[in-house]
Amino acid sequence: MARIIKNRQIIEDHWQTTADDVELPTGSVLISWARWNRERAALLARDEPLGVQLPNTTNIADLTADLPHWQVVALEFPKFADGRAYSQARLLRERYGYQGEIRAVGDVLRDQLAFMARSGFDAFAVRADRSLEDALAAFSEFSESYQPAADQPLPLYRRGR
């Protein structure tokens, strides 16, 4: 079983990511946006935990009606320099009130984790060639943040520090 960082802890990941052309296993599955659009009715009838993986080109406003059906929304980082998923996470949390897990997948590196968490991510599938233990240390590198964000809606001067 793979491991991820979730809520600033390393855990075993019980979510199964599946290809679009295979039969879904029992249990919690993470499917593609394309499969969700193609098999929506059958997926809703499964009565098992469901998550969706979205390309960073997806318009979040187009999927808000479906958010209550997903326990996990995985946002793709195709390369570390492409930050569109930061905006997607922030929209999910702040504009659309999504309370489920928002997971960063793809080219996810240690140096980005604190900024991803500020944007609304709470789970991170760090790139396979990187150490989860080392990545976890990224959360302790900054003791305070000045600006408001998804993880702290008040700026530092409003927090009385």
Residues of the chain below pLDDT 70: 143-146, 156, 161
For residues 158 and 40, the answer to whether their CB atoms sit within 8 Å is no
Predicted TM-score of the model (pTM)? 0.90
* CATH class assigned to 3-158: alpha beta
- The average confidence (pLDDT) of the chain is 92
The predicted pLDDT at position 161 comes to 62
For residues 102 and 92, the answer to whether their CB atoms sit within 8 Å is yes
The predicted pLDDT at position 149 comes to 72
Of 13, 38, 12, the C-alpha closest to 28 is: 13
The predicted pLDDT at position 8 comes to 94
Q: What is the arrangement of strands in the sheet containing 101-106, beginning at the earlier edge strand?
A: 9-12, 3-6, 123-124, 101-106, 72-77, 50-54, 29-32, 16-17
Each domain of the chain, given as residue ranges in start order, spans 3-158
Number of residues that this document lists for the chain: 161
Separation between Cα atoms, residue 118 and residue 85, nearest integer Å: 12
Separation between Cα atoms, residue 85 and residue 4, nearest integer Å: 18
Residue type, 114: A
